[in-house]
């Protein structure tokens, strides 16, 4: 299958938003999505973007039955390891079901790795739901290590009221 991976543009945000919802449905958490294409435009295409994104695009003659040519995306951002240095974090990697198994997911993942290496990142990190065996197997086949078992790391989050409470307890300037 012909496809190309390219940097997302502001004009791609509606397609990215659509696929974010498709991914959330697959992950059984559609009620967790609180952003739209407007937040993606604001946060990804500003002077200091919070994320970068790649999209996978197929030719018009291979578009989806719904008429989409943008059929996958990889959304990522940079982080820092105090032990190792620069790192890239892959927040989402998604390919529409009808286009899976055709090298598009691998193409997106490899392009994120290439972008990270060009910025001298020493690692690519991501998280996968424990029940998502197809994704876990996909990443393992590419050489990823599952740190849950080998190093015992837990993924921790503060949000909503707990984040507000923590922020409100910050020392005053």
Which residues form the catalytic set? 139
Q: Which of left, alpha, beta for 66 (phi over 0: left; psi -120 to 50: alpha)? A: alpha
Sheet holding 52-57, edge to edge: 4-7, 52-57, 70-81, 85-95, 123-126
- Helices 37-44 and 13-26 cross at an angle (nearest 10°) of 120
Our CA angle for 60, 61, 66, nearest 5°, is 70
Rounded mean pLDDT, 39-62: 98
Q: What is the CATH number of domain 4-169?
A: 3.40.630.30
Q: Which 3-state string (H, E, C) describes 27-81?
A: CCCHHHCCCCHHHHHHHHCCCCCCCEEEEEECCHHHCCCCCCCEEEEEEEEEEEE
**Which residues are CB-contacts of 82 (< 8 A; sequence separation ≥ 6)?**
none
Q: To which H or E segment does residue 123 belong?
A: strand 123-126
pLDDT single digits (tens) 87-114: 999 999 999 999 999 999 999 999 999 9
* Rg of the chain taking only CA atoms, in angstroms: 17
Spell out the domain ranges in the chain: 4-169
Q: How confident is the model at residue 149 (pLDDT cuts 50, 70, 90)?
A: confident
Q: What is the pLDDT of residue 139?
A: 96
The model's pTM is 0.94
Q: How confident is the model at residue 5 (pLDDT cuts 50, 70, 90)?
A: very high
Residue 80 has pLDDT above 90, yes or no: yes
In whole numbers, what is the pLDDT of the chain averaged over residues?
96
- For 120-148, write each residue's pLDDT tens digit: 999 999 999 999 999 999 999 999 999 98
Q: Are the CB atoms for 36 and 5 separated by under 8 Å?
A: no
Percent of the chain with pLDDT over 90: 93
pLDDT at 153 over 90: no
Residue 18, pLDDT > 90, answer: yes
pLDDT exceeds cutoff 90 at 155? no
- pLDDT, mean of residues 52-58: 98
């Amino acid at each position: 299958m012909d496809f190309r991976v390219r940097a997302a543009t502001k004009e791609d945000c509606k397609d990215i938003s659509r696929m974010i919802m498709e991914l959330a449905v697959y992950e059984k958490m559609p009620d967790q999505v609180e952003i739209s294409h407007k937040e993606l435009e604001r946060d990804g295409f500003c002077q200091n973007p919070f994320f970068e994104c790649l999209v996978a695009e197929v030719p018009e003659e291979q578009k989806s039955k719904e008429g989409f040519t943008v059929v996958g995306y990889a959304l990522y951002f940079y982080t820092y390891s105090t032990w190792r240095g620069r790192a890239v974090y892959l927040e989402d990697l998604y390919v529409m079901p009808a286009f899976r198994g055709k090298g598009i997911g691998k193409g997106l993942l490899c392009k994120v790795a290439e972008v990270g290496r060009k910025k001298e990142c020493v690692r690519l990190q991501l998280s996968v739901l424990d029940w998502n065996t197809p994704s876990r197997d996909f990443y393992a086949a590419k050489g990823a290590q599952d740190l849950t078992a080998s190093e015992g790391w837990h993924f921790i989050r503060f949000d909503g009221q707990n984040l507000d409470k923590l922020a409100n307890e910050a020392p005053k300037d």
